[in-house]
Amino acid sequence: MRIYTLFLALLLLGPATAVAQSEEGSSAPQFSFKRGVGVVAPDTAFSVNMRFRMQSRAVYNTISKDDFGVSEYELRVRRLRLRFDGFMYSPKLTYSVQLSFSRGDMDWSMRDQSNINTSPNVVRDAVVHYRPNDRWQFSFGQTKLPGNRQRVVSSGEQQFIDRSIVNGLFNIDRDFGFQSVYSNNLGGLHYLLKGAVISGEGRNVFTTDRGLSYTGRIELLPLGEFTNGGDYFEGDLEREPTPKLSLAGGMNHNENARRTGGQTGRDLYQETDMQTYFLDGLLKYRGMALYAEYMAREADNPFTFNPAGDTRYILTGHGQNYQLSYLFQNNLEVAGRYSRITPNQEVRTVENTEEAYIAGVTKYLRRHRVKLQGNLAYHSLNAFSPVNDDYHWSAAFQIELGI
């Protein structure tokens, strides 16, 4: 019992003792609790910042638009993440590692037994960044691609419990390779140029083919930079005192794609080239945030076949997503979203038009780190066809907790 008591005392008093010694000038690590738990080595040779977050969710889905009986419940930990960031050797050389532990966060629903799509996938990010100056950043490793804004915005920075159906079908997710970012000002215009050359098969693959994937994105901020990086978290939590606007667009070309979504989805039976296009705009001002996004996907050969005659295909088409929100002074936010997916003519025999309407309420207790969220959604499948319509409602509650 005495040993446990002594261990607990050392655990509680250790950081305080280290900080006190540091203040006295002795060799001791530097601790920080500004964003997670951070430690800098006594000789400043490296640093480690640890963060975690989890999303606990309850969802109720109805049978149809008129029958409010239970179709299914969703009760689960949607995300459980552990993240490490810091620098090595020099503050110019940084790293980021992110691990996922919940079943729905590891591609368990798409376990094709192949070299390119094997689950579970625990490693989400493992990337090294080199920033020689304020304008350039070079990256090597596995991380998010510079695709549509909503996908690049962290799932922990969202104002609804999940991203839109448009993002779910057309985003280009994560991959392994080289990336670069260049930022500068031209007159009063701030702009960013982003590019990536990556494998094209997604995260944690064993082998790749001879085709690579190329991504380019440009962002224009004509009214200046957002406060504290506000163009990459949802909702105007900074209550921008002057209007802030970001307009962006780009594309991804995946040569010899081997999965239905390029970096995500089931394995295709045959390789094919795929192009994904994205345009998005964001406006924030005094608690109001307006977001619009357009995405489209094309493929040289959407349908692929195996020797037995089975088919796997790429959903080609386009989607649009709109979000509008307002944050009150008590940190209660109301938001609405409309999303629509329209398949191309070539795949309409197997895919339907989809629409989703969502109303959301979020109570921010500690910005996006600790928040309570409630969503009410109306979803329609094949909405503009006179037959085979599928409409239903859903209600959801989620708690986000992290450091």
- pLDDT (0 to 100) of residue 106: 80
Q: Are residues 13 and 151 in the same domain?
A: no
Same domain, 132 and 38: yes
pTM, entire model: 0.87
DSSP letter, residue 369: T
Instruction: Identify the residue whose tokens are 């409409």.
Output: 391
DSSP-assigned states of every residue in 344-357: -GGGTTT---EEEE
- Same domain (yes/no): 20, 43: no
Which of these, 131, 167, 134, 174, lies nearest to 149 by C-alpha position? Answer: 167
Same domain, 101 and 13: no
| Burial classification of residue 133, based on how many CB atoms lie within 10 Å of its CB (0-12 exposed, 13-18 middle, 19 or more buried) | exposed
Regarding whether 123 and 15 lie in a shared domain, the answer is no
71-98 average pLDDT score: 95
Question: Residues 294-306: what's their mean pLDDT?
Answer: 96
Q: List the one residue out of 240, 256, 102, 257 whose CA is nearest residue 173.
A: 257
76 and 18 in a common domain? no
- Indicate if 5 and 38 belong to the same structural domain: no
Q: How many domains does the chain have?
A: 2
Cα(139)–Cα(126) distance, rounded to whole angstroms? 10
Specify whether the CB–CB gap between 174 and 203 falls below 8 A.
yes
The answer to whether residues 23 and 69 belong to one domain is no
What b-and-e string marks burial along 8-35, b requiring 16 or more CB atoms within 10 Å of the CB?
eeeeeeeeeebeeebeeeeebbeeeeee
Query: Do 3 and 107 belong to one domain?
Result: no
What integer is the mean pLDDT of 248-272?
93
* Section 360-388 average pLDDT: 84
Tell whether 9 and 55 lie within a shared domain: no
Return the amino acid letter for 246: S
Q: Domain of 161: which CATH number?
A: 2.40.160.10
Dihedrals phi, psi of 40, to nearest 5 degrees: -110, 130
Give 377-389 pLDDT, tens digit per residue.
Answer: 999 876 544 444 5
Q: Give the 3-state secondary structure of residue 17.
A: helix
Name the pLDDT band for 206 (thresholds 50, 70, 90).
confident
Give 134-169 pLDDT, tens digit per residue. 999 999 999 999 999 999 999 999 999 999 999 999
> 374 pLDDT band (50/70/90 cuts)?
very high
Asked if 248 contacts 232 with a C-beta cutoff of 8 angstroms, the reply is no
Domain holding 260, by residue range, is 33-402
Q: Which pLDDT value is given to residue 389?
A: 57
Helix/strand/coil for 315: coil
d(Cα 94, Cα 139) in Å, to the nearest integer?
A: 9
Check whether residue 169 and residue 289 sit in a common domain: yes
Query: Quick one: which of 277, 177, 287, 284 has its CA closest to 224?
Result: 284
Does residue 90 carry a pLDDT above 80?
yes
- Do residues 180 and 76 share a domain? yes
